[in-house]
Chain A
């Protein structure tokens, strides 16, 4: 139980990543696959935040005297997450755009039926 309590955030993050990977690998519906990509991204963002997180920590700004710098949350992972979110939005938007075009061509979103090329 102690292990679970200490690592609950990591377990959550990797749980999300694995759910996403499962969806990408096993689902037939293109929209569900794209949602799976979203899951992976969310899991990664949570994981990155966790690396720099300190319980009851403060923002890394010296606003008043007497703040211990060891109690400050690492800002770098948060900057990484900000960048990663922007990239993920671009990828998901592009994926949905392609899904619309694919639907126009094939009239289906079932990837097992979209076989113009060899899948």
Chain B
């Protein structure tokens, strides 16, 4: 049976709105709906991978030809993101089966809300990476944003509501900027199709283009928490339920980065703004890691560490060469897998110790041996120790930066290595608390199976790709070549 890539969006979206009806039939079954939807997406995306790696599929909707229709562009980058989204979505959905409890204020059996919004969030993310229409991208972006605003506040506690309000205000100003940018582009080119805009953009040289680009970078920069637009991130990521923190840190912020760089590479082409972005990336990295170092709350540590990683990814993607983009995509894979693993482990540590303070983690290595061990793997991977996945990805970023032989990039790489040292320092501090401090309690805590299954799969992936980076680096190189090549994109969409 030949499947259409549009099912990657349709199935989760459809199931999301079917969830309440399924809930009428069987209350218990609703929590398995995201698992099924994401498993379907995962299998479908992996089955597309060999096909699209050389020939991207362009899906045209409603029987019109581009540029008049809304088209999907299913290239290697899109499919890699789609695999990542569905993989993390699937594993976190398994985790959510036991982890998600109904907030006390809501009475019984309102968990459906969580599962609906969870599926919508993932639908929005998948839509953004597959679409080839800039307004469609905005709509999916709003689906992603609105569902994440609600999910941050899912527990309806003081902190969650406050963080969600902040996130909502800043996020909707960001979306407003994106919409103004789209308005400018439509005013200049009279089209919303990304390939069509990319084709026509060479003919126009107007200051409006620069304004539109700045608006896009600001708007998506808020979602991806680029410094100085990052004020919402530590609060939202630390106040959300841990499963949602894993999704926000692992997927949502990377989607913002994808959108920035898709627009820059495909629409505007490589230009001087990349130097600016590389510097901003390193500043984000340094500020994120330094803030993480002085936090006392474990989830805030991880949230600031996400911000640091985002800076690293922005730096790698704005090197502007195929090597750099490939390294950036590799770092996205690393960060998604490792940070999801960390948040999943921390979720149950907080659940049992009932405290987010770092001091409450003392001696957990004895009380929750497997969870602490998995946490350690994730932390080592993020620092970039061999043989974990973080090592080859960080190494490839440094190599890509050195290859440019630009003195500016050399300085930035030195700063990057300093940031890695800070990162190592706070993760080792946590690991020391876990293993080398005694706690008064001696009991053994047994977290449920639904934590271990996803966490062990993630840990195996971290070690496997860390040992055999060639397993994905050839795919990433091809994706990077597609991501940078604007003319290939235009040619594929118009089918010339």
Q: Which residues of A contact B (CB under 8 A)?
A: 17, 21, 24, 30, 33, 37, 40-41, 44, 47-48, 51, 74, 76-77, 80, 83-84, 87, 90-91, 94-95, 98-99, 101-102, 105-106, 114, 116-119
Interchain CB contact under 8 A, B172 and A30: no
Stretch at the interface among B73-81, B163-171, B450-458: B163-171
- B residues less than 8 Å from A105 (CB atoms): 158, 161-162
- A residues less than 8 Å from B153 (CB atoms): 98, 101
Interchain CB contact under 8 A, A30 and B186: no
B372 at the A/B interface (Cβ < 8 Å)?
Answer: no
Given contacts A40-B173, A117-B166, 17 further A-B pairs with CB under 8 A are A24-B173, A30-B165, A44-B179, A44-B183, A77-B183, A80-B135, A83-B135, A87-B139, A87-B142, A91-B146, A91-B175, A95-B172, A98-B165, A99-B165, A102-B162, A105-B161, A117-B163
Interchain CB contact under 8 A, B176 and A40: yes
Residue ID in chain B nearest A49 by CB atoms = B183
Interchain CB contact under 8 A, A17 and B158: no
- A residues less than 8 Å from B179 (CB atoms): 44, 48, 84
Interchain CB contact under 8 A, A37 and B173: yes
Cβ 8 A contact of A116, one of B150, B162, B176:
B162
Cβ 8 A contact of A102, one of B146, B165, B186:
B165
Which secondary structure dominates where chain B touches chain A? Answer: helix
Interchain CB contact under 8 A, A95 and B169: yes
Interchain CB contact under 8 A, A33 and B159: no
Interchain CB contact under 8 A, A37 and B172: yes
Interchain CB contact under 8 A, A95 and B165: yes
- A44 CA / B173 CA spacing, docked (Å): 11
- With both chains docked as a complex, state the minimum distance between the C-beta of B297 and any C-beta of chain A, in angstroms: 10
- With both chains docked as a complex, state the minimum distance between the C-beta of B228 and any C-beta of chain A, in angstroms: 14
Interchain CB contact under 8 A, A114 and B162: yes
- A residues less than 8 Å from B156 (CB atoms): 101
- A17 CA / B146 CA spacing, docked (Å): 21
Interchain CB contact under 8 A, B183 and A51: yes
- B residues less than 8 Å from A94 (CB atoms): 146, 149-150, 168
- B residues less than 8 Å from A40 (CB atoms): 172-173, 176
- With both chains docked as a complex, state the minimum distance between the C-beta of A16 and any C-beta of chain B, in angstroms: 11
Cβ 8 A contact of B186, one of A76, A114, A117:
A76
Given known pairs A87-B142, A116-B158, the reply for A41 and B235 (CB within 8 Å) is: no
Interchain CB contact under 8 A, A95 and B168: yes
Interchain CB contact under 8 A, A117 and B239: yes
Residue ID in chain A nearest B167 by CB atoms = A98
Interchain CB contact under 8 A, B168 and A98: yes
- With both chains docked as a complex, state the minimum distance between the C-beta of A60 and any C-beta of chain B, in angstroms: 14
B192 at the A/B interface (Cβ < 8 Å)?
Answer: yes
- A24 CA / B165 CA spacing, docked (Å): 12
- A17 CA / B24 CA spacing, docked (Å): 44
- With both chains docked as a complex, state the minimum distance between the C-beta of B222 and any C-beta of chain A, in angstroms: 12
- A27 CA / B334 CA spacing, docked (Å): 41
B11 at the A/B interface (Cβ < 8 Å)?
Answer: no
- A74 CA / B156 CA spacing, docked (Å): 44
- A residues less than 8 Å from B235 (CB atoms): 117-118
- With both chains docked as a complex, state the minimum distance between the C-beta of A21 and any C-beta of chain B, in angstroms: 7
B187 at the A/B interface (Cβ < 8 Å)?
Answer: yes
- A91 CA / B150 CA spacing, docked (Å): 10
B180 at the A/B interface (Cβ < 8 Å)?
Answer: yes
- A118 CA / B182 CA spacing, docked (Å): 33
List which B113-155 residues lie within 8 A (CB) of chain A: 135, 139, 142, 146, 149-150, 153
Interchain CB contact under 8 A, A76 and B162: no
Interchain CB contact under 8 A, A102 and B168: no
- A residues less than 8 Å from B135 (CB atoms): 80, 83
- A-B pairs, top 5 by smallest CB distance, nearest first, are A51-B187, A117-B235, A105-B158, A40-B176, A101-B161
Q: List 14 A-B contacts (CB under 8 A).
A: A37-B169, A40-B172, A44-B183, A47-B180, A48-B179, A77-B186, A83-B135, A83-B139, A87-B139, A91-B168, A95-B169, A98-B161, A106-B158, A117-B235
Cβ 8 A contact of A24, one of B149, B162, B169:
B169
Residue ID in chain A nearest B161 by CB atoms = A101
- With both chains docked as a complex, state the minimum distance between the C-beta of B194 and any C-beta of chain A, in angstroms: 15
List which B309-363 residues lie within 8 A (CB) of chain A: none
- B residues less than 8 Å from A106 (CB atoms): 158
Interchain CB contact under 8 A, B180 and A102: no
- A116 CA / B175 CA spacing, docked (Å): 26
- B residues less than 8 Å from A41 (CB atoms): 176
List which B224-252 residues lie within 8 A (CB) of chain A: 234-235, 238-239
- A24 CA / B168 CA spacing, docked (Å): 12
- With both chains docked as a complex, state the minimum distance between the C-beta of A102 and any C-beta of chain B, in angstroms: 5
- A113 CA / B145 CA spacing, docked (Å): 26
Interchain CB contact under 8 A, A91 and B165: no
- A residues less than 8 Å from B146 (CB atoms): 87, 90-91, 94
Interface-centre pick from A51, A74, A98, A102 (highest chain B CB count, 10 A):
A98
Interchain CB contact under 8 A, B180 and A21: no
- B residues less than 8 Å from A117 (CB atoms): 159, 162-163, 166, 235, 238-239
- B residues less than 8 Å from A102 (CB atoms): 161-162, 165
Interchain CB contact under 8 A, A51 and B186: yes
Interchain CB contact under 8 A, B176 and A33: no
- A residues less than 8 Å from B183 (CB atoms): 44, 47-48, 51, 77
- A23 CA / B146 CA spacing, docked (Å): 21
- With both chains docked as a complex, state the minimum distance between the C-beta of B236 and any C-beta of chain A, in angstroms: 9
- A27 CA / B40 CA spacing, docked (Å): 47
Given known pairs A44-B176, A105-B158, the reply for A76 and B192 (CB within 8 Å) is: yes
Residue ID in chain A nearest B235 by CB atoms = A117
